[in-house]
């Protein structure tokens, strides 16, 4: 190899290392993302622990595994356990995406006037998720939550059996792009737009989702 060619290769390698290092630094500072994949079993994540593991695994794959990650999910009360509120699981904030854009400074802002939009609700890889008008539309994000981030107090199923069902049932979802067809403000809710038609992959797809989660670092 000539000295000139060797020099070009060296420069390219250095530039590649710089880009890789920058990407790693961005990921390590990330404290919020939308999961790039679902469970593969509809809304069944094996409960909250399984959903948290899903977020943790995806974060670790891009170099952000040193943080403790939690899925933004609520669960209903059962005979053996009280309800769990999504807002109580995710720490105090602030939260920023992989590009460093802050989506909320604290829990109150997250549930009042946050900066979650299609452009900011990126995956752990920095990818934009399809929204209303895209094909397919996948803007439904699983939450099981009311607008204030708390679990429902009634006896209806709002969380696909507390995230253990992939057949019958229903889960409350939010729109990461804040868009929809409902005549009221619910279509613009990031965390509580409407229930799914069921808990299977097919049912989630029929209402505009693929079983994605909001993931927050504590």
Least Cα distance to 102 among 87, 89, 113 occurs for 113
Are 111 and 87 within 8 A, CB to CB? Answer: yes
Domain range annotation of the chain: 29-217
pLDDT in tens, the chain (218 residues): 444 454 444 444 434 545 444 456 677 799 999 999 999 999 999 999 999 999 999 999 999 999 999 999 999 999 989 999 999 999 999 999 999 999 999 999 999 999 999 999 999 999 999 999 999 999 999 999 999 999 999 999 999 999 999 999 999 999 999 998 767 778 899 999 999 999 999 999 999 999 999 999 99
pTM of the model: 0.88
Are 128 and 140 within 8 A, CB to CB? Answer: no
Give the class (CATH, top level) of 29-217.
alpha beta
Whole-angstrom distance, CA of residue 112 vs CA of residue 107 = 9
């Amino acid at each position: 190899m000539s000295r000139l060619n060797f020099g070009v290769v060296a420069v390219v390698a250095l530039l590649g290392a710089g880009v890789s290092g920058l990407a790693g630094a961005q990921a390590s500072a990330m404290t919020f993302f939308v999961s790039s994949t679902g469970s593969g079993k509809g809304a069944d994540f094996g409960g909250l622990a399984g959903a948290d593991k899903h977020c943790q695994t995806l974060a670790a794959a891009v170099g952000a595994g040193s943080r403790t990650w939690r899925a933004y999910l609520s669960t209903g009360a059962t005979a053996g356990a009280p309800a769990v509120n999504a807002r109580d699981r995710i720490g105090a904030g602030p939260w920023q995406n992989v590009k460093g854009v802050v989506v909320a400074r604290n829990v109150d802002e997250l549930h009042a006037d946050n900066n979650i939009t299609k452009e900011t609700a990126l995956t752990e890889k920095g990818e934009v998720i399809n929204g209303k008008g895209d094909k397919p539309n996948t803007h439904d994000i699983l939450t099981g939550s009311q607008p204030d981030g708390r679990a429902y107090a009634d006896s209806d199923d709002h969380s696909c059996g507390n995230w253990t069902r992939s057949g019958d049932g229903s889960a409350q979802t939010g729109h990461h792009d804040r868009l929809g067809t409902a005549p009221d403000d619910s279509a613009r809710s990031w965390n509580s737009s409407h229930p799914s038609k069921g808990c299977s992959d097919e049912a989630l797809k029929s209402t505009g989702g693929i079983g994605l989660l909001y993931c927050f670092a504590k």
